[in-house]
Amino acid sequence: MTAPPNAQAAPNASAAEPGVSGVAVLRQLLGRFRPYRARCAGMFALALVAVVLSVMSPLLLRRVVDEALPERDVPLLATLCGVMLALSLVASVLVVAQTALANWVGQRVTALLRAEIHDRARSQPLPFYTERGQSEIQARLVNDVDGVDRFLTGTVQRWLSTVLSLLAIGGAMLVVEWRLALLCVLMALGLGLVNNRFARRRRALARDRQRLLTTVLRHVAEDLSLSGVLLGRTLRRTRWQRTRFLDVSEEIREVTYRQRITGMSAQVLIGSSFAALPPLIFLAAGTLGSGVTVGSVVVLIILQGRLSQQIQELLRLSGQFQASLAMFERVQEFLDLPAGEVEPTAPGARRAGAPPAVRLRGAAHGYPGAGRRALGPVDLDFPAGSTTVVMGRSGSGKSTLALLLAGLLPPDEGSVALDDGTDPRAAVTLIPQQTALLKGTLRENLLFARDGVPPAALDWVLAAVRLDTVVARLPEGLDTQLGAEGLRLSGGERQRLAVARAMLADARVLVADEMTSSLDHETAEQVTAALRAHCRNRTLVLVAHRLPTMAPDDRIVVLDEGRVAEAGTHLELVARGGYARLTGSPAPRGAEKAVVPGGGRG
Ligand SMILES: Nc1ncnc2c1ncn2[C@@H]1O[C@H](COP(=O)(O)OP(=O)(O)OP(=O)(O)O)[C@@H](O)[C@H]1O
């Protein structure tokens, strides 16, 4: 089977030890329990009492076998049996209480962890999302946190009970017959060391498995989305999509198989070693001389059986523990990301007030790993209340400029500032090239713009972008569900929805990046005119490939390979001559009269 490039991610790539050690990861995890110290202590106490009670029964059994039964002492027998029953009942109640407490604490720690990862993932600079991709973030936030949750609420609790049980059983065995107990404990220690080797291997395999599951998520998101299905079918590459999915699926099968076999080998090795203990106990009891009663032998066999069970449980848990640790390492990697502020805290700054001018001084931006800078350095002025059309060939840096203007990308050097000192992120709304829509109704998508939109404003905006006729046709009007990513709407309708939503956001500066690329000429002109009317007292920047109908005062910036090739008002540029060659735009009447110096630096 041909392995497509994406499926060839080396299976051992992440088998290498990650940067953070297991102990450090565990310490960070345990640190999260600090606020719940008292409840954790309560959980520990409950577990301890439950374990002590559970080993008392076999000790009572020795008296049943050695005294009550041979001497036919019915009152003693009834008392011992009654106490044994009561002990097991109380131990069960304590286990339930302990589980409730563990989940109470564990769920709080997990919820906090989930919120922190969400905050970190949300506040990263834009290149983070290009590099990581949606599925990677999804896998960390959902699958890995879920793994940590299972660890916190299940594995830790069972591990605690098991370790305490081992200590209690060991103690009880020492009370019954110390020499035989020592034999069992030494054997348990040896087997623990063997298990450690298996556990390390299982942790590496668990890490590999998580990485592969993330890849599967990515493939599913790419290939089984509407755009992925269209891409695969139209280019007749569905078999390729299937192949790369199966390749990763095979890798998962292999890694899971190895993970389970490693775990099972350790369990079988230890299980069979313990099977050898009863004959050894009988032999020792027969050869150690006096002091070993039949009751002691029976109790030792029972305790040894329990010891074996607990050690095997510990083994199973150590496998889960290693898998959880691998997940926590992945979660920690996200928690270690620098925290950033994505939204200024003054929401009022977005609306009201005079339109600001936007100034770029020596502003430049290069994407990580790209050869040349996508933009700049450039000096540009967008005067208060002006309309500027940004043009240029594909790849000339228009979208990069739009992102800088909206404060969504920081300039690597130079500055992007509003003349009134407002943070661009508080005053600028961007209509990006790709329209993002929520799974919900048309109304919900529009009102996402801001809280408290008056119904009249909603109606005005819908009519302005010619969406009113679309709404009238929809079965449930504004309350029609748009489906995932709003795919029930046409591309042009989605674009108009994005424009309407940005208008409702009521920002003082609006930057529209090719907002009419999917619209016919007439509708595009109507939508642009509506946006201009809306922006009469705002600063507007239109990124466009086609020159819209221009007003004499409209400004134009022509970009070429990230530099400003031309800048000025429409009339100035037409008068200078070179601009018509770049845009194919005819000179409007009277152009030759207006010549004003432009403001660009290439
Ligand atoms: N996330 C990114 N990582 C690396 N390079 C990028 C990234 N985004 C854009 N670029 C590169 O930066 C340059 C400018 O891209 P930009 O999207 O700003 O151009 P544009 O003028 O808007 O193009 P178009 O008209 O095709 O939308 C291009 O060479 C592009 O390949």
Higher confidence at residue 218 or residue 594? 218
Average pLDDT over residues 45-56: 86
CA 312 to ligand 1 centroid distance, Å: 57
Say yes or no: CB of residue 548 within 6 Å of ligand 1. no
* Residue 394 CB less than 6 A away from ligand 1: yes
Mean pLDDT of 488-498: 88
Residue in 128, 378, 396 to alter for ligand 1 test, most ligand atoms within 8 A of Cβ:
396
User: If pLDDT is split at 50, 70 and 90, which confidence band does 582 have?
Assistant: low
pLDDT bracket for residue 588 (50, 70, 90): very low
State pLDDT tens for residues 508-566: 999 999 898 888 888 888 889 999 999 988 999 999 888 887 787 889 999 999 999 98
d(C-alpha 53, C-alpha 86), whole Å: 10
Q: What is the mean pLDDT of residues 313-341?
A: 80
Question: What pLDDT does 289 receive?
Answer: 64
pLDDT at 388 over 50: yes
Residue nearest to atom 25 of ligand 1 (CA): 394
The verdict on the CB of residue 434 being under 6 Å from ligand 1 is: no
* Cβ neighbours of residue 187 closer than 8 Å, sequence gap 6 or more: 273, 274, 277
pLDDT band at 578 (very low <50, low <70, confident <90, very high): low
What pLDDT sits at residue 354?
Answer: 84
- Least Cα distance to 484 among 474, 494, 492 occurs for 494
Query: How would residue 587 be classed by pLDDT, with cut points 50, 70 and 90?
Result: very low
pLDDT of residue 446: 92
Average pLDDT over residues 281-304: 76
Q: How many angstroms is it from 377 CA to the middle of ligand 1?
A: 16
| pTM of the shown model | 0.72
397 lines ligand 1 (CB under 6 A): yes
For the Cβ of 370 lying below 6 angstroms from any atom of ligand 1, the answer is yes
Q: Give per-residue pLDDT as tens, 459-480.
A: 999 999 999 999 998 888 899 9
**Do you know the residue count of the chain?**
602
**Of the ranges 21-25, 49-53, 359-363, 551-555, the best mean pLDDT one:** 359-363
Distances (CA, A) of 601 to 97, 202, 378, 381, 388: 72, 59, 6, 11, 16
pLDDT reading at 413 higher than 60: yes
The verdict on the CB of residue 374 being under 6 Å from ligand 1 is yes
Mean pLDDT of the chain: 82
Q: Quick one: which of 559, 570, 571 has its CA closest to 600?
A: 559
Amino acid type, 142: V
- Which of 126, 132, 367, 412 most suits a substitution to test ligand 1, by most atoms within 8 Å of the C-beta? 367
Residue 145 has pLDDT above 90, yes or no: no
- Pocket flag, ligand 1, residue 126 (CB < 6 Å): no
The 10s digit of each residue's pLDDT in 15-39 is 334 445 667 877 888 888 889 999 9
Q: Which of 299, 133, 95, 157 is nearest to 217 (CA)?
A: 133
Take atom 28 of ligand 1 and give the residue whose Cα is closest: 395
Nearest CA residue ID for atom 8, ligand 1: 367
CATH superfamily of 20-177+324-339: ABC transporter type 1, transmembrane domain (1.20.1560.10)
- Residue 539 Cα to ligand 1 middle (Å): 24
Q: Does residue 513 line the site of ligand 1, with CB under 6 A? A: no
Spatial distance between the Cα atoms of 78 and 62, rounded to a whole number of angstroms: 14
**What is residue 510's predicted lDDT score, i.e. its pLDDT?**
95
Q: How confident is the model at residue 251 (pLDDT cuts 50, 70, 90)?
A: very high
Averaged pLDDT, 571-600: 51
Cβ of 391 closer than 6 Å to ligand 1, yes or no, is no
Task: Tell me the CATH number for domain 358-583.
Answer: 3.40.50.300
Q: Which of 7-11, 69-73, 468-472, 554-558 bottoms out in mean pLDDT, i.e. has the lowest?
A: 7-11
How many Å lie between the centroid of ligand 1 and the Cα of residue 374?
6
- Lowest mean pLDDT of 9-23, 138-152, 241-255, 572-586, name the range: 9-23
User: ipTM > 0.95?
Assistant: yes
Q: Which atom of ligand 1 is nearest to the CA of 559?
A: 21
Q: Is the pLDDT of residue 359 over 80?
A: yes
Ligand 1 neighbourhood includes 367 CB (under 6 angstroms): yes
> For residue 584, what pLDDT is reported?
52
Closest CA to 427 of 435, 437, 416, 438: 416
List for the chain the helix, strand, coil content (%; round to 5): 65, 10, 25
Q: How does DSSP assign 124-150, residue by residue?
A: S-HHHHHHHHHHHHHIIIIIIHHHHHH
Is residue 368 within 6 Å of ligand 1 at its C-beta?
no
The residue-averaged pLDDT of 85-111 equals 89
- In tens, the pLDDT along 156-170 reads 888 888 888 888 888
Predicted local distance difference test score (pLDDT) of residue 78: 92
Q: Which protein residue has the closest C-alpha to ligand 1 atom 7?
A: 367
403 within ligand 1 shell (Cβ under 6 A): no
How far is ligand 1, taken at its centre, from the CA of residue 221, in Å?
23
pLDDT category of residue 1 using cuts at 50, 70 and 90: very low
* Cβ of residue 395 lying under 6 Å from some atom of ligand 1: yes
Task: Give the strand order in the sheet containing 375-382.
Answer: 375-382, 358-365, 413-418
For ligand 1, whether the C-beta of 396 sits within 6 Å is yes
